[in-house]
């Protein structure tokens, strides 16, 4: 049944191989001081940095550097970004990079004018901002998280062994995002694979939830089939523009909140993966791939009809003469085969997790209630052990 909901997404997107030029249309809307947020420096090697800075300077902006955003942005980096923004009275936070840069920019945006510790307020108490929010714009260089069109921001606290995401209100969504598929083509193959699985899992987290026969499910199935098709092309030829552009567009639709409407959603794979990431500091998409199959095999009996539908509609499994359990399992086997083809991590051991970490990762895993089965801590521990 389709439940009651509201929907709004105000992020303006510019998509295509000449989309960067539209930054000129957006910049006049904001003040003079722009905090330029980026990661480890790859955008300086591939020329994107120079292109962006030229446009900023041509529009008379003061460029305030904030580089070094790590793949799992830390609370210490967040505090640094807040300091930079306050000292320079920034008017716009411009993230150039992947989802981590976009997440980090949004976390800074709600924290610059906050008079409390943002970690405590947003990530431990899950409160909403009551202060003025600094606007965010994104120039995407990696497809995966969908952060360019949502209000989510994940931050890691290594001291507390916690990696937590907060989905803020619609005011925190980027004001604009620029998506040029060519910008994603310089990524190492493993990063591309991690992003592809992140996209797929975002769809799964919304698809495998209690409300079935929902318009969102039909959209989700189409997105998954498109992603599977394009991913196999991109793995063979990372420069294939059509495949890379379809992957990038699917990533946005996978998590711009559209397909979650009318759904309770189930984000336990993310909770398991993020807890593992807090201990291993492994790439986000890889932590998700490492725990997905043990989790889905565990909950499959509780949502069997949906797993059958997944097998038939996404993986083209023939159900004739088979039990529902057989069909559902064949769907997960097909998913496993695809995961191996695109080269993602298949277990936590590959990512550096050990048996001795399991209790800590279990304790760090937040329990959510949106799925077919609400887990207890013993079940979390069991799934994590099967993920090693």
Neighbours of 382 (CB within 10 A): 16
B/e letters for 277-305, b = 16+ CB within 10 Å, e = fewer, are: bbbbbbbbbbbbbbbbbbbbbbbbeebbe
- Cross-strand bridge partners of residue 152: 167
Domains of the chain, residue spans:
12-184, 189-387
B/e letters for 104-134, b = 16+ CB within 10 Å, e = fewer, are: bbbbbbbbbebeeebbebbbeeeeebeeebb
SS3 label, residue 157: strand
Domains 12-184 and 189-387 belong to one CATH topology: no
Please tell me the predicted confidence (pLDDT) of residue 2: 67
12-184 has which fold?
A: Rossmann fold (3.40.50)
Kindly state the DSSP code that residue 113 receives in the 8-state scheme. T
pTM exceeds 0.75 for this model:
yes
SS3 label, residue 270: helix
Q: Which helix (H) or strand (E) holds 176?
A: strand 176-179
Helix ranges (DSSP H) in the chain: 23-26, 42-45, 48-58, 75-88, 99-109, 118, 189-207, 215-236, 241-254, 268-280, 284-299, 304-315, 324-342, 358-364, 377-387
Q: What residues have CB less than 8 Å from 143, skipping those under 6 apart?
A: 181, 184, 195, 196, 199, 244, 247, 248, 250, 251
Give the residue carrying structure tokens 């559209």.
258
Measured on CA atoms in the order 171, 207, 252, 145, is the torsion positive or negative?
positive
Pairing of strands 152-157, 162-167: antiparallel
Question: What parts of the chain have a pLDDT lower than 70?
Answer: 1-2
Report CA Rg, the chain: 20
Which listed CATH number (2.40.50.100, 1.10.630.10, 1.20.1090.10, 2.60.40.10) goes with 189-387? 1.20.1090.10
Please tell me the predicted confidence (pLDDT) of residue 212: 73
Phi-psi region of 126 (alpha: psi -120 to 50; beta: other; left: phi over 0): left
């Amino acid at each position: 049944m389709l439940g009651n909901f509201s929907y709004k997404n105000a992020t303006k997107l510019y998509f295509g191989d000449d989309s960067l030029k539209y930054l000129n249309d957006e910049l006049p809307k904001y003040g003079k001081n722009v905090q330029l947020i980026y990661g480890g420096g790859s955008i300086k090697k591939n020329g994107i940095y120079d292109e962006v800075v030229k446009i900023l300077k041509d529009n008379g902006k003061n460029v305030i550097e904030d580089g070094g955003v790590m793949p799992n942005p830390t609370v210490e980096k967040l505090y640094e970004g807040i300091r930079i923004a306050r000292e320079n009275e920034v008017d716009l936070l411009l993230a150039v990079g992947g989802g981590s840069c976009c997440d980090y920019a949004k976390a800074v945006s709600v924290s610059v004018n906050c008079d409390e510790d943002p970690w405590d307020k947003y990530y431990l108490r899950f409160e909403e901002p009551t202060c003025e929010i600094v606007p965010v714009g994104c120039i995407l260089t990696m497809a995966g998280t969908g952060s360019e069109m949502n209000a989510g921001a994940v931050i890691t606290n290594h001291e507390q062994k916690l990696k937590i995401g907060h989905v803020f209100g619609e005011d925190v969504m980027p004001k604009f995002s620029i998506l040029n598929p060519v910008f994603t083509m310089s990524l190492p193959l493993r990063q591309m694979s991690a992003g592809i699985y992140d996209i797929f899992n975002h769809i799964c987290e919304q698809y495998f939830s209690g409300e079935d026969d929902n318009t969102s499910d039909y959209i989700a199935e189409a997105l998954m089939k498109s992603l599977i098709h394009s991913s196999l092309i991109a793995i063979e030829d990372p420069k294939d523009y059509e495949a890379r552009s379809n992957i990038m567009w699917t990533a946005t639709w996978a998590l711009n909140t559209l397909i979650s409407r009318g759904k309770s959603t189930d984000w336990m794979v993310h909770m398991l993966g993020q807890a593992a990431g807090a201990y291993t500091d492994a790439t986000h998409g890889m932590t998700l791939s490492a725990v997905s199959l043990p989790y889905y095999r565990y909950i499959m009996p509780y949502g069997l009809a949906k797993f059958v539908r997944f097998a038939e509609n996404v993986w083209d499994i023939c159900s004739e003469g088979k039990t529902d359990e057989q069909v559902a399992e064949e769907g997960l086997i097909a998913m496993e085969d695809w995961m191996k083809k695109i080269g993602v991590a298949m277990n936590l051991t590959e990512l550096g997790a050990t048996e001795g970490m399991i209790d800590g990762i279990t304790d760090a895993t937040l329990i959510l209630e949106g799925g077919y089965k609400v887990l207890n801590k013993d079940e979390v521990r069991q799934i994590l052990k099967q993920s090693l």
